[in-house]
């Protein structure tokens, strides 16, 4: 009775109401202003949908990725957190799955995996604009974003940005896409005719003009980590950059100013996870990691079933051994995109020179996508190594023009797909300058004319080798693909040995 009488006094009732309303307002403000968000991200799968076999273990693949994604999503749902899932470009090109289905299988899998959005990568154009715009885009259950690709008339080709809102937060999440402006030289130039790839930073500045300080701004990019850093410095309004293109393994987010940059390696080996606590559009707390898709992670059965159904198209012929390697054939990215010609590069460039009867053969390291292990070799192995439909082209260059080609290769950064694998040239590099000693076993003369075998990609000026397109003379296009030359070589009945490769040089 006395307790109740105490609270019936007007002054105490007043303060009780004030305290109650204060708690209510505080709790309501917290619910509306704080956003707990997880970003799941992948980049550059290059059609590596199935796990890669490492001895007795299976690593990576979309089936394992979805298992991990669903575990995170379920945990977030229980904790009241939101989840967004991004692909930062280059779904296509790298395995027979891409060569056969031209991206349609990847899109079907991504739809099942529940991606929020995808950035346009340069390799999305590898099978032409019509395949991308008429075959793949209508099937996508997610937006394909790029703010810096326009037609020659100035019209945007893709959606530039999307906005996401969540019931328990007032924060708008603005997501926009950017694509490398080098696309015209990293896919076959004919694939992007009529398209203009604007400066990504310029495009980003235009996008952020329409954002507010209270927005969370996310750039979904396929421009490479170095360019992501420059983007963060030039456009500080961006809170998070989810990147791709350079296949960079960032175990922890890279912070530039107040901008977080993440990237998850390549080839479906990891799923990136970035946990954010956002208040008033600002990231006040974060934690990032790469989740390795190791042998202990089970594959999602729905993904496995879809892939197995598509694998029936290949048939047993693709898996039948057609030859044998008695040594490891090195097609690793680190090796073929360096200034050293590997044993696999030696074979391929020799076969091109032998077929076209040329003094020299050059093949860009970016066209070689995998190694071959010691043991039986199947057609599946070969099309995984050489997924592009590159035909052999013969042309003539002067000695000085040939030297300029090698000079460009040497000056490219390690890891660039334009690094050349070479047959027929003995050269050295001193103080950054290329000096050629001999070509085809004969002393080099800058004024002499030399016959060169290259791919049609390089012949069109791919990887920035304009000299082939502008200066190549006596050009002849063969119908034979580089992959077909390799198949013929493998199935001769003779095993590939170190001694045999040495004789090709």
Q: How far apart are CA 288 and CA 260, in angstroms?
A: 10
Edge-to-edge order in the sheet of strand 442-443? 425-430, 433-439, 442-443
Which residue bears the tokens 């493998």? 490
Regarding pTM above 0.85, the answer is no
Task: Out of 288, 309, 330, pick the residue that ends a domain.
Answer: 309
pLDDT, residue 490, reads: 96
Domain membership flag for residue 412: yes
Give the CATH number, domain containing residue 105: 3.60.21.10
Which residue bears the tokens 């997880």? 38
With both helix axes pointing from N to C terminus, report the angle between 104-113 and 301-311 in degrees, rounded to the nearest 10: 170
Are 395 and 427 part of one and the same domain? yes
- Number of domain units in the chain: 2
Are 416 and 276 part of one and the same domain? no
Of 426, 428, 407, the closest CA to residue 418 belongs to 407
pLDDT, residue 56, reads: 64
Are 198 and 336 part of one and the same domain? no
Task: Out of 283, 309, 335, pick the residue that ends a domain.
Answer: 309
Query: Helix, strand or coil for residue 351?
Result: helix
Find the domain containing 179 and state its range: 35-309
Domain membership flag for residue 16: no
- On whether the CB atoms of residues 355 and 392 are closer than 8 A, the answer is yes
Are 388 and 291 part of one and the same domain? no
Are 355 and 243 part of one and the same domain? no
Tell me what percent of the chain is helix, strand and coil, each rounded to the nearest 5: 40, 30, 35
pLDDT, residue 5, reads: 45
Full 3-state SS string of 378-411: EHHHHHHHCCCCCEEEEEEEEHHHHHHHHHHHHH
The distance of Cα 387 from the centroid of its chain, to the nearest Å, equals 15
Are 449 and 481 part of one and the same domain? yes
pLDDT, residue 316, reads: 83
Task: Out of 309, 337, 359, pick the residue that ends a domain.
Answer: 309
Domain membership flag for residue 29: no
Give the torsion through C-alpha atoms of 170, 172, 173, 178, to 10 deg: -170
Q: How far apart are CA 370 and CA 272, in angstroms?
A: 23
The pLDDT tens digits along the chain (505 residues) read 444 444 445 544 444 444 444 444 444 444 457 999 999 999 999 999 999 876 567 899 999 999 999 999 999 999 999 999 999 999 998 888 988 899 999 999 999 999 999 999 999 999 999 999 999 999 999 999 999 999 999 999 999 999 999 998 999 999 999 999 999 988 888 899 999 999 999 999 999 999 999 999 999 999 999 999 999 999 999 999 999 999 999 999 999 999 999 999 999 999 999 999 999 999 999 999 999 999 999 999 999 999 999 998 888 888 889 999 999 999 999 999 999 999 999 999 999 999 999 999 999 999 999 999 999 999 999 999 999 888 999 999 999 999 999 999 999 999 999 999 999 999 999 999 999 999 999 999 999 999 999 999 999 999 999 999 999 999 998 878 899 999 999 998 899 999 999 998 8
Give the CATH number, domain containing residue 471: 3.90.780.10
pLDDT, residue 17, reads: 43
Are 418 and 479 part of one and the same domain? yes
pLDDT, residue 334, reads: 95
Domain membership flag for residue 20: no
Are 298 and 410 part of one and the same domain? no
């Amino acid at each position: 009775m006395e307790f109740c009488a105490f609270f019936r006094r007007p002054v105490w009732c007043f303060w009780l109401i004030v305290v109650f309303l204060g708690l209510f307002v505080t709790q309501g403000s917290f619910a509306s202003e704080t956003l707990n968000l997880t970003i799941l991200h992948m980049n550059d799968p290059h059609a590596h949908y199935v796990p890669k076999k490492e001895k007795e273990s299976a690593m990576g693949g979309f089936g394992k990725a979805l298992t991990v994604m669903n575990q995170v999503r379920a945990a977030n749902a229980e904790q009241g957190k939101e989840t967004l899932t991004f692909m930062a470009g280059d779904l296509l090109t790298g395995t027979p799955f891409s060569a056969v289905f031209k991206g349609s299988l990847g899109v079907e899998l991504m739809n099942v995996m529940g991606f929020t959005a995808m950035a346009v990568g340069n390799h999305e154009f590898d099978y032409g604009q019509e395949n991308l715009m008429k075959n793949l885009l209508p099937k996508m259950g997610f937006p394909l974003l790029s703010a810096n690709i326009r037609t020659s008339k100035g019209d945007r080709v893709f959606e530039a940005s999307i906005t996401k809102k969540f019931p328990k937060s007032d924060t708008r999440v603005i997501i926009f896409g950017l694509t490398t402006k080098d696309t015209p030289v990293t896919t076959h130039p004919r694939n992007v005719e009529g398209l203009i790839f604007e400066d990504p930073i310029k495009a980003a500045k235009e996008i952020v003009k329409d954002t507010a300080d209270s927005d969370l701004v996310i750039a979904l990019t396929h421009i490479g980590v170095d360019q992501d850093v420059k983007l963060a410095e030039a456009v500080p309004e961006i809170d998070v950059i989810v990147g791709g293109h350079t296949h960079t393994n960032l175990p922890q987010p890279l912070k530039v100013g107040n901008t977080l940059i993440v990237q998850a390696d390549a080839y479906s080996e990891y799923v990136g996870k970035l946990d954010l606590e956002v208040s008033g559009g600002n990231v006040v707390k974060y934690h990032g990691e790469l989740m390795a898709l190791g042998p202990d992670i089970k594959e999602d059965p729905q993904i496995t079933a879809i892939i197995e159904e598509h694998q029936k198209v290949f048939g047993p012929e693709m898996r039948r051994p057609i030859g044998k390697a008695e040594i490891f054939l090195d097609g690793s990215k680190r090796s073929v995109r360096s200034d050293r010609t590997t044993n696999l590069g030696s074979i391929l460039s020799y076969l091109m020179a032998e077929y076209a009867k040329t003094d020299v053969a050059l093949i860009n390291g970016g066209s070689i996508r995998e190694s071959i292990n010691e043991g039986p070799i199947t057609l599946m192995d070969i099309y995984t190594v050489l997924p592009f439909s590159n035909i052999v082209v013969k042309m003539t260059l002067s000695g000085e023009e040939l030297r300029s080609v090698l000079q460009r290769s040497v000056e490219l950064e390690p890891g660039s797909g334009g690094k050349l694998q070479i047959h027929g040239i003995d050269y050295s590099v001193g103080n950054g300058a290329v000096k050629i000693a001999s070509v085809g076993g004969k002393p080099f003369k800058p004024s002499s004319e030399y016959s060169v075998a290259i791919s049609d990609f390089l012949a069109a000026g791919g990887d920035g080798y304009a000299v082939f397109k502008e200066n190549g003379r006596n050009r002849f296009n063969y119908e034979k693909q580089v992959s077909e030359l390799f198949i013929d070589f493998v199935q001769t009945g003779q095993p590939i040995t170190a001694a045999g490769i040495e004789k090709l040089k």
